[in-house]
Structure 1
Amino acid sequence: MYTFVPWVLSALSIATSVVASPLAVPVANSTSPVIDVVTGITSALFDDFILYTKYCSASYRENCARPVGRALFNEPGHITGFIARDDGRLEIVVTFRGTHSVDDALTVGQLALTPFISRGINETFSVHTGFLNSYNGVADDVIRIVKEQLVAHPGYRIIVTGHSLGGGVAAIAAPSLRVALGDAVPLKLYTFGQPRTGDPSYATYMEDLLGEQNIHRSVHTTDGIPGFIFPSLGYAHFATEYWQYSDPIPFLLARERTIKKCVGGEDPACSAKLTTFALSSVHWTYYGQEISSDPTVCL
């Protein structure tokens, strides 16, 4: 069952509810994963991608009594999000919403790099100013709630996820939570359509701190948003990218074969080779989930 945890801030509130498992997906037996011979992607990992896109989609719903309720920041510069607990999967999921308002767009436009200073982090390398300020506005509450849940539910793992702008904020939140919780708590990051978030030293820091195997940065076909903050501005992507270079074709192209697990943060054989950086419909569809426009995630 999913238990949705109240995230109460001066600018955010969320109702607590216990519901059935509307987001549940099949999971392959961990002792015998189904691995595609071309990409090396397991069917279980593909199912995880589907699941966390549903969390991201739910974060956009303004009237979502279930499963996550209404969860909106009301102050400029802050970002909507929620924290949910999945007792079936033994997970605490921290989700950040993407661009949904003029204020969100202005946040994305704060492209200046600034030193990565956040809860428990004081680094000289730099990250996106808007993403950092958005997370810092809620960092204390996020860490407090996650710690409270871990005390009540020891052994759970942490999932940090977000789409678009929310992916950028999630990429700031994940290292902050990693430092605050210590290495004993498993933590994974799943982002979808995430823009570049920091400089090359930050990218290396992310890979070393979280472990490349715990980072899942998805790009859907020709989505231009992950590339629109150019390296010439001092930014770099971190590993590991999962590029869905083609949508599945029933009976012809199995879904696992559409994914390429990339090497490094700027693999020239993956989305880094794209030359279009415009916002398009593919940015709003990840792993078959219509991000922000699927009311079924609230049933």
Structure 2
Amino acid sequence: MRVLSFAFLFFNLFAPAILASPLLTSRSISSSLYDDLVRYTQYSSAAYQLLCPSPLGNTLVQSFSVGPTQGFIARDDTRQEIVVSFRGSFNLADVATDINIFLVPLVSPGLTETFNVHSGFLAAYNDVAEVVLTTVKAQLAEFPTYAVVVTGHSLGGALAALGASALKTAFPTASLKLYTFGQPRTGDANFVAFVESTIGVENIFRAVHTFDGVPTILPRALGYEHHSTEYWQFKDPDLFTSAASTVTQCVGEEDPSCSDSIPSTGINLAHVFYFGQVMAVNPTLCL
């Protein structure tokens, strides 16, 4: 048992250096983009807190908790942003959402499309779709020049992709960006095309940390595909440190030289750490 435990720990800590680095080509990111990835990682982590009265020191507009789906909508008046953050898997109800893996047609407030998405993710998003759409609509009416950012980690990343697509469809003139962290594949190839054409690949940032197994846990053999654009944090100086030089911008939806090059191991240590943040355990993000 100790041998197996040591082997697991060794793989979790050192596999990025062993497996990832040799496969990369040079597609570096800017320091400003890296700073944005860190910022929205923090918003995604803050969504795990039971109470978040001031996300990253900003105004809490609305928190939501319906069924298994939780998160918040915040407003940053300095950056002039409305931020929608969805919580990732946290309890048994979320696990039930995750394992409901059948692909079903996307039917959601404001969306009735001829493509398929994960049935559990869709049901979880639909629980809060009306409050998200209504709240963002009111905020944009009051602050029409503000941008919208939608973010989430793990399950929250899948909900963010659904929510961002619905929001951009409802408010096509609004500036909107999508940032996800450890997002599992969420729908089929037609859904991917819809997300990319609706939001724009230049506005989509799908981050994967080293050998995080969640992004590839839903196999392509079942009809699942990832949308662009992956940003792979391919190595860590240590688990609590990251830098722009450790992140590469990948090509297309399923770049074989990025995280798709590493076999999925499901939920692992890499899924818990993103851009120096330990997801879900920092209440100071809400003060």
TM-score (norm 2): 0.85
C-alpha separation between the residues in 1 aligned to 2:155 and 2:177? 18
Q: Which amino acid aligns with 1:92?
A: I
Residue number in structure 2 paired with 1:31: none
1:210 paired to 2:210 = no
In structure 2, the residue corresponding to 1:243 is in which secondary structure?
A: strand
**What is the one-letter code of the residue matched to 2:228?**
A
1:187-226 aligned within 5 A: 187-226=176-215
Query: Who is 1:73 aligned against?
Result: 65
User: 1:23-34 alignment to 2 at 5 Å?
Assistant: none
**1:254–1:291 CA distance, 2 compared to 1 (3 A):** closer
Given that residues 86 and 152 in structure 2 are in contact (C-alpha distance below 8 angstroms), is that contact kept between their aligned partners in structure 1? yes
CA distances 1:263-289 after superposition (whole Å, capped 9, x unpaired)? 111110011111132211211110001
Gaps in structure 1 of 5+ consecutive residues: 1-36
Distance (whole Å) between structure 2 residues aligned to residue 254 and residue 276 of structure 1:
22
Match of 2:161 in 1: 171
The answer to whether residue 225 in structure 2 is matched with residue 236 in structure 1 is yes
Structure 1 runs of 4+ off > 4 angstroms? 68-72
Q: Is the 8 A contact 1:52 1:161 kept in 2?
A: yes
**Offset from partner CA, 1:193-236 (integer Å, 9 cap, x none):** 00000001111111111111000000000000001000011100
Q: For 2:134 and 2:82, how far apart are their aligned partners in 1?
A: 13
After TM superposition, give the deviation of residue 121 of structure 1 in Å.
Answer: 1.5
The question of 1:109 aligning with 2:95 is answered no
Q: What are the residue-to-residue correspondences of 1:10-159 with 2, within 5 Å?
A: 38-67=26-55, 71=63, 73=65, 75=67, 78-159=68-149
Partner of 1:289: 277
Greater relative contact order, per chain length (Cα 8 Å cut-off, separation 6+): 2
Tell me which residue corresponds to 1:269. Answer: 257
Q: What SS does structure 2 have at the residue aligned with 1:93?
A: strand
Structure 1 residues 65, 210: CA separation in 2 closer, same or farther (over 3 Å shift)? closer
Equivalent-residue separation in structure 1 for 2:194 and 2:53 (angstroms):
38
CA distance in 2: counterparts of 1:69 and 1:154, whole angstroms: 16
**Equivalent-residue separation in structure 2 for 1:264 and 1:86 (angstroms):** 31
CA deviation after TM superposition for structure 1 residue 70, in Å: 10
Other structure's SS at 1:277 match: coil
SS at the partner of 2:65?
A: coil
The alpha-carbon deviation at position 72 of structure 1 amounts to 6.0
How far, CA to CA, are the matches of 1:120 and 1:265 in structure 2?
A: 26
Q: Which moved more, 1:38-47 or 1:227-236?
A: 38-47
What is the letter of the counterpart of residue 73 of structure 1? S
Name 1:161's counterpart in structure 2: 151
Change (3 A) 1:137 1:206: same
CA separation in 1, counterparts of 2:26 and 2:134? 42
Contact 2:150 2:177 in 1 (8 A): yes
Checking the alignment, whether the CA contact within 8 Å between 2:63 and 2:73 is kept in structure 1 is: no
Percent identical pairs in the alignment equals 46
Partner of 1:46, secondary structure, is helix
Confirm or deny: 8 A CA contact 1:223 1:283 kept in the other structure.
yes
* TM-score, reference length from structure 1: 0.82
Report how far residue 71 of structure 1 moved.
Answer: 4.6
Deviations 1:14-36 (A, max 9, x none): xxxxxxxxxxxxxxxxxxxxxxx
Q: CA deviation at 1:74?
A: 5.3
CA distance in 2, matches of 1:203, 1:63: 33
1:210/1:64 Cα in 2 relative to 1: closer, same or farther (>3 Å)? closer
User: Which AA in structure 2 matches 1:272?
Assistant: D
